[in-house]
Amino acid sequence: MNRPLVITEDHDLLDDLLRVAAAAGAELDVVHAPAHARPYWNRAPLVVVGSDLADALAATGPPPRPRVLLVTRVPEDPDTWRKCVTVGAQTVLELPSAERRLVDEFADVVEPAARAGHVVCVAGGRGGAGASVLATSLAVSASRQRLRTLLVDADPLGGGLDLLLGQEEADGARWSDLVAREGRVSFTALQAALPTVAGLTLLSFHRGEVEPIPAEAMRSVLEAGLRGFDLVVVDLPRHPDSATVEALSRASTTLLVVTADVRGVLAAAQVLVGLRRHTGDVRAVVRSGVLDDEVVTTSLDVPYAGNLPDQPRLTAALNRGDVPPLGRRTALGRFCASFLHSMLRTEQ
């Protein structure tokens, strides 16, 4: 793949550009003289011209082309826009204030075509309802269907989705490595940094004390996920925080796992109030109990997504560190297959 081209002799500017490109997961072709740019000029997906060489480049008469940017480290230089016109650039970016825009520009040209993925959030109506198991099972099922899938643990007090997958020792980044992340994240860099389990990419927490996820970090991760993955599954806490709001605002569907008993329905009604403030499509997944499914969904006034009866040997499998059993004969396997089929059919 052709790489973005940088034309500059300014070493300080080049250092800045290399750092910004690294944040976008981009490698650059760099030339220090306009004449050396000719072999790259037409085939580079993006050309970044340092203001120090703009006039010299213009003197060589390069053919017009799209996606040329003039970059400067001198703020409000009145001569900059003249240089922009002479070199045929589309705009001027002043560093460091325009670094985030430049990250986006680099990322746009080095990432493969966006996948326009979908976010599915999963929340428990009460503690122990099984939301984390369902979120993990959906992600594993999607991955087995060869959908590029990202599973995001957004519940700091949930015990860790890596544990449900038996991957608590897996190498790779966790939330603590990403909490300072703002702006655009390359999904290729994100996928490379995170643990991957049988084709499934996982973002979870380190053991021990955890910090809340900043909204900006969640936003960066989800936007990368939407560009690079077919499906992003987010396991939510029951009490919405700013990171939860970011996930809900991007969700195609939010599944609320409700236990079919009076206490479970009343608790789910409280959780539902918070969910509805930030997302439109909330559906109930009913864990079998003393109440009929219709009674549960009518009481909550939510659409019915399906039923999950108790699954023999599920707890034993999870305690062994095994992935949740998801064969066709299991309740979890049937629900996940049906939900994913319905979701994919709706998108077509």
Contact call for residues 20 and 40 (beta carbons, < 8 A): no
Mean pLDDT over each residue of the chain, to the nearest integer: 90
Q: 262-276 vs 293-300: helix axis angle to the nearest 10?
A: 40
Q: Which of 58-72, 181-195, 213-227 has the lowest mean pLDDT?
A: 181-195
DSSP 99-139: HHHHHHHHHHHHSPSP---EEEEEEESSTTSSHHHHHHHHH
Examine residue 96 and say whether the peptide bond preceding it is cis (omega within 30 degrees of 0).
yes
How many whole angstroms from its chain centre is CA 274?
Answer: 22
The pLDDT of residue 181 is above 90: no
pTM score, whole prediction = 0.77
Q: What is the tens place of the pLDDT at every residue in 236-280?
A: 999 889 999 999 999 999 999 999 999 999 999 999 999 999 999
Tokens 């909490």 label which residue?
179
Q: 242-250 vs 215-228: helix axis angle to the nearest 10?
A: 20
Contact call for residues 287 and 260 (beta carbons, < 8 A): yes
Q: What are phi and psi of 278, to 5 degrees?
A: -125, -5
Q: What is the tens place of the pLDDT at every residue in 298-321?
A: 999 999 999 998 877 887 787 777
